[in-house]
A and B are shown apart, each in its own frame.
Chain A
Amino acid sequence: MKTTDLIPVQQFCEHYNVEISFINTLNEFGLIQIVRVETKPFIQPEQLKDIEKMIRLHYDLQINIEGIEAISHLLTRVNQLQEEIIALKNKTQFFDQDDL
């Protein structure tokens, strides 16, 4: 992967005003994946949305990393369930139309 596609962790932390240790901890907990190019750490752009969310949870809502980890699992589950609900709703709509 070209480094031009990646965001240096240092630059990210300066922009968002967060400590590098916070990003390292997210990486240690497996919540994000830091890419190393010649020992320099980078963030993949597709992870930005999730990291921004975790920053908000931690800094705005004072939720610790363990809490963020639990929330991430639950949110993934919530999203899956929401998708299932939509699919089931669509199915019932289909059968309701059949009844008519």
Chain B
Amino acid sequence: MEFIDYYKVLEIEKSASIDDIKKAYRKLARKYHPDLNPNDESAKRKFQQINEANEVLSDPEKRKKYDQYGKDWQHAEEFEKARQQRGQQTYQGSGSQTNYGFEQDDDFSEYFASMFGGRSGSGSRGQVKFRGQDFNSELKLNLLDVYKTHQQTLTVNGKNIRLTIPAGVEHGQTIKIAGYGGPGANGGPNGDLYITFSILNNTKFKREGNNLHTSVDVDLYTAVLGGELTVDTIDGKVKLTVAPETQNGTKIKLKNKGFPVYKQEGQFGDLYITYNVKIPTNLSEKQKELFKELSKTS
């Protein structure tokens, strides 16, 4: 292993300050950077040395060790033995650094590895940021809860989130709350929170998208002769005119009386009503007679 004088590599004095080291490194890096010296093996080697020297000398702890042992090679070997006895303690960093287009294994000299146990991450930009984990949550609501836009406060992982739930949210629909997932690593952004709506329909209306369906009973006389009927819609009662001779199973549409359209304020689906004509039971003798008479006329 050849002793490398890092001060000579960076062309600085032993007494150089951190600023001097930084300046010298930048100047030489600009000169020998592999991106600026394509296909130049000597520049690549020189750049590796500069990087290595900078990594040691710009870190006060490593510089101290280098100054202590690096000066005299024999002492460095003793240091190495002692280090191995202490249980292969190394100084490996947690982050990765920018790869300059050559093999990581060749980045640092054997000398560096023996002194410092490998490469450590020092550049802040070189560390790859990791986005935090996405969280998934289920929110149970009643159908009537999502008929109107409303706000709700949720507690997810100890954080209170005030959430605006738009009218018309569908069962099984998932919305994303950006940044409310797990925290990012190395300064990376937080993950997102995904909320899936589970909507319980405890009304008499069947929901199909934005449209609602229901059925109402119509007595025989109203169905035959026509008349008025008051029916329930999801937001109140409405009066309907039943046409004479309405057949059982007739379906009518009440425009804009369905469910709100998601994120389209003021827009609604339709309400479909199926008439269920009820045949009278427990007829009196007189009523039976009248029906018999009626049947003779047809």
Contact = CB atoms under 8 A, between A and B. Distances in A.
A57 B125 contact: no
Contacts of A78: 38
Interface stretch (B9-17, B27-35, B136-144, B238-246): B27-35
B154 interface: no
A61 interface: yes
B39 interface: yes
Contact of B35 (A15, A57, A82): A57
Nearest to B126: A60
Nearest to B27: A61
Interface residues of A, number: 17
A82 B131 contact: no
A61 B30 contact: yes
Interface string A25-67: 0000000000000000000000000000100110111110000
B42 interface: no
Contacts of A82: 38-39
Contact of A62 (B26, B38, B123, B187): B26
Interface of A: 14-15, 17-18, 53, 56-57, 59-63, 71, 75, 78-79, 82
21 contacts: A14-B129, A14-B131, A14-B189, A15-B128, A15-B129, A17-B129, A17-B187, A56-B33, A56-B98, A56-B100, A57-B35, A57-B36, A60-B29, A60-B125, A61-B29, A61-B30, A61-B33, A62-B26, A71-B36, A79-B38, A82-B39
Given A15-B128, A17-B187, A57-B36, 14 more contacts: A14-B189, A17-B125, A17-B129, A18-B125, A53-B35, A56-B33, A56-B35, A56-B100, A60-B123, A60-B125, A61-B29, A75-B36, A75-B38, A82-B39
